[in-house]
Amino acid sequence: MTIRTRFAPSPTGYLHIGGVRTALFNWLLTRRHGGKFILRIDDTDMERNKAEALQPILDGFKWLGLHWDEGPEAGGPYGPYFQSQRHDRYFAAAMKLLESGHAYPDYMTKEQLDADRKAAELAKRPYVHRGPHRDTPADECVRLFREKPTTLRFKIPTGQSAVVEDLICGHCEQKTDLIGDPVILRADGRALYNFASVVDDVDMQITHVIRAREHLSNTYVQVLVFAALGAAMPQFGHVPVINEPNSNKKLSKRDMKKFLTPEIRAKLHAIGYSDEQIESRDDLNPVTVAFYREMGYLPAAVVNYLGRLGWSLDDKSEYIPLDQMIANFGLERVNDSPARFDPDKLYWLAGEYMKELKLADKVAGCLPFLQRAKLVGDAPSADELQKLERILTASAERIKLFSDILTYGAPFFRADPVYEPKAVEKRLKKPGAADLLSEFRSRLQSASPFDAPTLDKSLHDFCTEKGLKVGELVHPLRVATTGVEVGIGLFDALAILGRDEALRRIDLALSKCS
């Protein structure tokens, strides 16, 4: 048997972290066993979904490297892969259920349904809908529906249990007497998601349905629909939810706005986004995949983190390259408890993957951030590229994201330093600091060669002669030449700037102290 899994996002314009983790588990399962991963678009809700919102989702999967075997752009033998293009299939399947006595037309009005629901509440009993034509013979139901099309409901068999032998949750069951007869077709002929999903799974020969735990309640109805259609039942695995950082609350799409904290906004501002742009885009948010792409995370790090979020290789491994993850992935090691999203661990993993990246690839990844900030032109010169290489080499493990180049590299690409006011007050205007800079300036002027080891020795010798602590000169010299207190090693910074530029910047800083 060839394993066939699927992921069916709605075209809302962004990929939620929880959804991508579920898609990844499906993808890993098929890749390990040589199966097929199908991307199917759930766009039946025409009011909420927009065609232009699909591309960001496809781009997100491509960025992560989760390429699908069948679906949009890829095609395949079981298309179309958009639910909005499969209405004929849903209608035909609904008619099959109607003709076989597994469905019935329901002409009850909204007011009648509301009255029934309210009566159940007053009687303090669960509301379980059973329509007037539930026990009407199938032939008569077909005649009624053809004469007057209306809502179609699936007839839940009574006195049974809907059973799901879940690959993650184990044995699950629900008494059918507690399940109301669900609508499968609206009065306008549109299929509801729960029903359309079953028809699609049957048509596309899906063997494994791996999805979020919150869908388990839908699965009880769906296994009954599979049986009524006489279709082969896929195996189900329901993945636990992802909770918010430092919380037992689900990481929900409904609460997205609260994750746009001042800290997150500051990070987005730093890479060039305005408040207006942030407000107008749902995907510039830490609960979406696009946020991590925009911030310059390596996709391999994001995939590693999401794969590890609820699944384990063993009791200690966190850094798990993709080939190792594919070779070892299995649902038996998926935890049945909620996972907690930890942005600090993801950032750490990003750094681990950045360590392995070749210098040329780091340059290619960092360059767009410098260009967007207008620190480097569209066609960078050989000198600019060489400078960027030197900065990245000197930054070493400080660069965990491509956008970190703005912190460590920007001072070297600006015509003049942008002096942080607090740094100027604390370091440059400190009594005696200007005099030390003026005196050490002559040492820099005569240093030869003008490289990091020579400058390091020169500064230490100077401090020894003057009876100074090294920090008394290092801090004002860093601020004078870069404008900031944090950055790459000072001596590397001076060497990258070069003698003339370093001296010019010291003079500029001294002019601010006078």
Task: Return the active site residues.
Answer: 253
Q: What is the dihedral of CA 444, 446, 448, 450, to 10 degrees?
A: 30
Tokens of 169: 């949750």
The gap between the terminal CA atoms of the chain, to the nearest Å, is 80
User: Could you give the maximum distance between any two Cα atoms of the chain, in Å?
Assistant: 106
489 DSSP 8-state letter? -
Q: What is the DSSP string of 28-82?
A: HHHHHHT-EEEE-B----TTT--GGGHHHHHHHHHHHT---SBBTTTB-TT---B
Rounded (10°) angle between helices 433-446 and 470-482:
80
For residue 134, count CB atoms less than 10 angstroms from its CB and return exposed for 0-12, middle for 13-18, buried for 19 or more. middle
Q: Is 312 helix (H, G, I), strand (E, B) or coil?
A: coil
Q: Which residue bears the tokens 């950032």?
A: 347
DSSP label at residue 365: H
d(CA 287, CA 284): 9
Whether cis (ω within 30° of 0) applies to the bond prior to 453 is no
71 burial level (CB within 10 Å; 0-12, 13-18, 19+): buried
Alpha helices in 311-451 (DSSP H): 322-328, 343-355, 359-372, 382-395, 405-408, 410-413, 421-423, 433-446
Q: Kindly give, in sequence order, each residue whose CB lies less than 8 Å from that of residue 461, ignoring residues fewer than 6 positions away.
A: none
Q: How far is CA 495 from the centre of its chain?
A: 39
Distance CA 59, CA 206 (A): 24
Distance CA 380, CA 103 (A): 67
How far from 239 is each of 82, 167, 219, 289, 396, CA to CA, in Å?
24, 9, 13, 19, 38
